[in-house]
Amino acid sequence: MDFNSLGLLPCITENLAELGLTRPTPIQTKAIPHAMEGRDILGLAQTGTGKTAAFGLPLLTAIAREQGKPEPKTVRGLVLAPTRELAKQIVENLQAYAKGTHMRVGLVVGGASINAQVNRLARGTDVLVATPGRLIDLLDRRAVTLSQTRFLVLDEADQMLDLGFIHALRRIATLLPQTRQTMLFSATMPKLMAEIAGSYLTDPVRVETAPPGKPADKIEQSVHFIAQGEKTALLIEHLDAHRADPAIVFARTKHGSERLMKNLLAAGYAAVAVHGNKSQGQRDRAIREFREGEAMVLVATDVAARGIDIPGIRYVYNYDLPNVADNYVHRIGRTARAGRDGTAIAYCAPAEMGELRDIQKLLGKELPVSGGTVWSGGASAEQGAGKPKGNGRRGNGGRRRGGKPAGGGERKGNGQRAEAAKPAAQPSSGKAKPARGNRRNARGRGKARAA
Query: What letter would DSSP give residue 44?
Result: E
Average pLDDT over residues 410-438: 38
Q: Which residue has the higher pLDDT, 250 or 435?
A: 250
Q: Distance between CA atoms of 131 and 448, rounded to whole angstroms?
A: 11
Give tens-digit pLDDT for 152-196: 999 987 777 766 788 888 899 899 999 999 999 887 776 677 777
- Confidence class of residue 214 from pLDDT cuts 50, 70 and 90? low
The domain over range 3-208 is classified in CATH as 2.40.50.140: no
The answer to whether 3-208 and 219-414 have equal CATH topology is yes
Please report the DSSP string for 73-104 in residue order. Answer: TBEEEEEE-SSHHHHHHHHHHHHHHTTTS---
Residue 333 has pLDDT above 50, yes or no: yes
Please report the DSSP string for 390-431 in residue order. Answer: SSSSGGGT----TTPPTTTTBPTTT-PBPSSPPPTTS---SS
- Residue 137: its H or E element: helix 132-140
Q: Which residue has the higher pLDDT, 97 or 378?
A: 97
Average pLDDT taken over every residue of the chain = 81
Strand partners, 186: 44
Q: Distance between CA atoms of 371 and 13, rounded to whole angstroms?
A: 48
Average pLDDT over residues 262-291: 90
pLDDT at residue 428, rounded to an integer: 40
Each domain of the chain, given as residue ranges in start order, spans 3-208, 219-414
Helix (H, G, I), strand (E, B) or coil at 139: helix
Which residues are CB-contacts of 114 (< 8 A; sequence separation ≥ 6)? 134, 137, 138, 141
- Residue 437: its H or E element: helix 436-450
Among 107-121, 324-338, 359-373, where is mean pLDDT lowest?
324-338
Q: Which residue has the higher pLDDT, 1 or 252?
A: 252
pLDDT at residue 160, rounded to an integer: 78
The CATH homologous superfamily to which domain 219-414 belongs is P-loop containing nucleotide triphosphate hydrolases (3.40.50.300)
pLDDT at residue 218, rounded to an integer: 77
**Distances from the Cα of 270 to the Cαs of 11, 236, 290, 297, in angstroms?**
40, 12, 9, 6
Which residues are CB-contacts of 141 (< 8 A; sequence separation ≥ 6)? 114, 118
